[in-house]
Amino acid sequence: EKGAFDHYMRKEIDEQPTAIAQAVRGRADGDEVAFESLSPGAFADVERVHFVACGTSYHAALYGAQLLRDRGVPARAYLASEYAVTAPPTEDGTVLVGVTQSGETADTLAALRRGAAEGLGTLAVTNVVGSTAARECDDTVLIRAGPEIGVAATKTFSSQVATLGLLAERIAREVGGSGSTPAGLPAALDDVPDAVETILADSSASALATRYDDSDAYFFIGRGTGHPVALEGALKLKEISYEHAEGFPAGELKHGPLALVTPSTPVFAICTGQHTEKLVGSIEEVSARGAPVVAVAPRSERDVAAVADDVLWVPETHPELVGVLANVQLQLLSYHTATLLDRPVDKPRNLAKSVTVE
Ligand code: F6R
């Protein structure tokens, strides 16, 4: 039931503090990570991690792959529909992780089956107990977000990233990965539910949606973990508002997309607190073409705020978790834009919650 909310999507955005807390509960003790379903040493022989997923879950997978690489573990995310037709050569020591909220997405199941047929170990990261992915994979880690009804995935993205953050820590620890990542992600996850609550209680996303709702197009840029968040911000906006939206890695702007930037195309710049100087450069590139810039950033990022026209603030957190908070602001932006344009938020045209055909 959506209760006091107009839409399931709005309700599910609001449920994120609980969803994230559930994803993390009982799984981290300091920086030690344990999953109820995985025995100690489950990843001891892993040499690399391949993720397969679609849509929003693919963006979570891109995020997760980066968290692994930051810890010195080779990892890559593939679009499941592409992996099913052009999988890389099989190498021993590869674990194939399917990230799928429903556990029923045909493209993701096909990619997992292809990997299994080649002899890879498979792991499902899913929200649905007993789903096809959970039943078919060698192992399963549940994201524990609770049921998601709105077609637009919201709380499950946050729960997926939280879970993949823990998984990255666990795999890196077992394979002895050594990266330069700042310590403390598992412990920092404990504070993310409160940080999301802070955003939900006081976001200027609604005012910004009103300011920009007659734009020609919307662009989202980010670097590092800000890149999958930029892709996700654009996907959410296009699917529920029907407005043209694109996400780019910030550095790619000058290799083509900059040709589309005008005073009628607001640019949302996701600032994670890493690679800030380069992001400021990208913001200056689009500002010089007259585009309004909205930074999504922690308050400490004064350099970004100084070059942006507006800021959607996020609370301070571990640098690798800023993207989760930034994404909540972008969910609110999409939601408010879609309601201003009177779109059927929970059931966008042409889309289904679970895509069971390839
Ligand atoms: C977007 C959305 C879709 C799904 C995709 C994969 O809001 O919901 O892009 O993320 O169809 O679905 P799952 O995660 O069930 O495999």
Distance CA 144, CA 132 (A): 16
Q: What is the mean pLDDT of residues 169-188?
A: 88
Residue type, 169: E
- Residue 304: is its pLDDT beyond 80? yes
Using one digit for the tens of pLDDT, what is the confidence trace for 28-64? 988 789 999 999 999 999 999 999 999 999 999 999 9
Using one digit for the tens of pLDDT, what is the confidence trace for 123-161? 999 999 999 999 999 999 999 999 999 999 999 999 999
Distance CA 210, CA 109 (A): 40
Mutational test site, ligand 1, from 13, 51, 54, max ligand atoms within 8 Å of CB? 54
Distance CA 81, CA 214 (A): 34
Distance CA 354, CA 15 (A): 20
Q: What is the mean pLDDT of residues 15-36?
A: 94
Instruction: Using pLDDT thresholds of 50, 70 and 90, give the confidence band for residue 10.
Output: very high
CA of residue 353 to ligand 1 center, whole Å: 7
For the Cβ of 112 lying below 6 angstroms from any atom of ligand 1, the answer is no
CA of residue 59 to ligand 1 center, whole Å: 10
Which two structure tokens, joined as six digits, stand for 127?
A: 């929200």
Ligand 1: atom nearest CA of 108 is 16
Mutational test site, ligand 1, from 102, 229, 239, max ligand atoms within 8 Å of CB? 102
- Residue 354: is its pLDDT beyond 90? no
Distance CA 306, CA 301 (A): 9
For the Cβ of 339 lying below 6 angstroms from any atom of ligand 1, the answer is no
pLDDT at 83: 94
Q: Name which residue leads in pLDDT, 96 or 30.
A: 96
- Residue 120: is its pLDDT beyond 90? yes
Which two structure tokens, joined as six digits, stand for 186?
A: 């598992």
pLDDT at 200: 98
pLDDT at 110: 96
Instruction: Using pLDDT thresholds of 50, 70 and 90, give the confidence band for residue 301.
Output: very high
For the Cβ of 100 lying below 6 angstroms from any atom of ligand 1, the answer is yes
pLDDT at 353: 87
Cβ-proximal residues to 263 (8 Å cutoff; 6+ apart), any chain:
289, 290, 291, 292
pLDDT at 352: 85
Instruction: Using pLDDT thresholds of 50, 70 and 90, give the confidence band for residue 84.
Output: confident
pLDDT at 33: 93
Strands (E) across the chain are located at: 28-29, 32-33, 48-53, 75-79, 94-100, 121-126, 139-142, 218-222, 245-249, 267-270, 293-298, 310-314
Using one digit for the tens of pLDDT, what is the confidence trace for 218-233? 999 999 999 999 999 9
**DSSP labels for 36-70?**
TTS-TTTTTT--EEEEEE-HHHHHHHHHHHHHHHH
For the Cβ of 56 lying below 6 angstroms from any atom of ligand 1, the answer is yes
Beta bridge partners of 21: none
- Residue 246: is its pLDDT beyond 80? yes
The ipTM of this complex is 0.99
- Do the beta carbons of residue 54 and residue 355 sit within 8 Å? yes
- Residue 179: is its pLDDT beyond 80? no
pLDDT at 131: 98
- Which SS3 state, helix, strand or coil, does residue 228 take? helix
- Do the beta carbons of residue 200 and residue 58 sit within 8 Å? no
Which two structure tokens, joined as six digits, stand for 134?
A: 């959970």
pLDDT at 31: 78
Q: What is the mean pLDDT of residues 282-289?
A: 95
Q: Would strands 32-33 and 121-126 be described as parallel, antiparallel, or unpaired? A: unpaired
Report, as residue numbers or ranges, the catalytic residues. 353
- Residue 170: is its pLDDT beyond 80? yes
Q: Say which range, 275-279, 287-291, 313-317, has the weakest mean pLDDT.
A: 275-279
208, 247, 355 from 292: Cα distances, Å:
11, 16, 36
CA of residue 121 to ligand 1 center, whole Å: 23
pTM equals 0.97
Closest CA to 156 of 165, 147, 169: 147
- Which SS3 state, helix, strand or coil, does residue 149 take? coil
pLDDT at 275: 87
pLDDT at 108: 98
Q: Say which range, 3-17, 177-191, 298-312, has the weakest mean pLDDT.
A: 177-191
| DSSP conformational letter for 182 | P
For the Cβ of 355 lying below 6 angstroms from any atom of ligand 1, the answer is yes
Distance CA 318, CA 135 (A): 34
pLDDT at 142: 98
Tell me the residue length of the chain: 358
For the Cβ of 152 lying below 6 angstroms from any atom of ligand 1, the answer is yes
- Residue 178: is its pLDDT beyond 80? no
Mean pLDDT taken over the chain:
95
Q: What is the mean pLDDT of residues 90-103?
A: 96
Give the residue ranges of DSSP H helices in the chain.
8-14, 16-24, 55-70, 80-83, 106-117, 132-136, 155-175, 185-189, 192-201, 205-212, 226-241, 276-287, 302-307, 322-340
Distance CA 197, CA 177 (A): 33
- Residue 306: is its pLDDT beyond 90? yes
**Which residue owns the Cα nearest ligand 1 atom 10?**
56
